[in-house]
Amino acid sequence: MQRIRTTSMKSQIRKAIVELVKDMPSDSDGKLPSEIDMANTLGVSRIALREVVKQLEQDGTLVSIHGKGTFANREVTKMKVRLTPAVEFEQAIRNSGYDASVSLESVSITTPPESVRKSLRLEPDEKVVRVRKTFYGDGHPAVFCEDMFSASLLGESSLVEKELEKSTFEYLLEKAGIIVVHDIAELLARTTDDLEGFPSAKQEALKPLLLIESVYYTAKHRPIMYVNAYMDTEYVKLSILRRQDVYED
């Protein structure tokens, strides 16, 4: 572990602890140094360190046992792509062991489906910008992604298709100063036959897909974007760590 020398303090503390967990010998008990020792080694406050440790406990990376200390859950580090927190699709494909690339299929301004209109709290006549992209793993379609957000967010700016080749989240940040902080998602079973507007899907044989249907929100819980992400789980290996509610008499 090395001293922290950056302004993004918490992210660097998290990175340092995760690296420590990965580097632990396989025959160790996984116990972390004391809070005081880690804070001194990293050159950070115990308050900042404690907040990061708490976050890592919540996502299952660390486990605290009263009276014994904090231990690493090294099984978590073996997980390729976690459903929480959300992972950028190209990185998810790389984590699954494939070379990643992306192709912008189409950008349009259109009338949204009723479910999208309600989820984004749009006016009856309000249009959305719809962005469709295909993410590839080793040249094979791995994720078919459809982003929709209100066209009113563009303000006076004109819609330039090329600008949406990058992340839609970055685009909204640049054009409207909007920062998305969380999403609420539903997982559904679909096939490539259910896809519309993705020519690349029709080039493949019929395949099952996992649809992650999400609404993304700002810190003030304002719905900003509706996303349909159809994943081929051959190329994106998803994992989730679930806490069990176990009660003793």
Tokens representing residue 207 in the block: 């395949």
**Residue 95 confidence class, pLDDT cut points 50, 70, 90:** confident
pLDDT, position 222: 94
What fold characterizes domain 81-238? Chorismate lyase (3.40.1410)
Domain regions of the chain by residue span: 9-78, 81-238
Confidence of residue 197 (pLDDT cuts 50, 70, 90): confident
C-beta of residue 85 within 8 angstroms of C-beta of residue 55: no
Q: What is the pLDDT of residues 218-229, one digit of tens each?
A: 988 999 999 999
DSSP tag of 200: H
Write down the residue that tokens 């509610």 correspond to.
245
Q: pTM for the full model?
A: 0.71
Helix (H, G, I), strand (E, B) or coil at 72: strand
Nearest to 120 by CA among 192, 178, 160: 178
* CATH code that applies to domain 9-78: 1.10.10.10
Cα-trace Rg, the chain = 21
pLDDT tens column, 48-90: 999 999 888 877 788 888 888 898 877 766 665 565 556 688 8
Contacts of 227 (CB under 8 A, 6+ apart): 145, 146, 147, 148, 183, 212, 213, 214, 215, 216
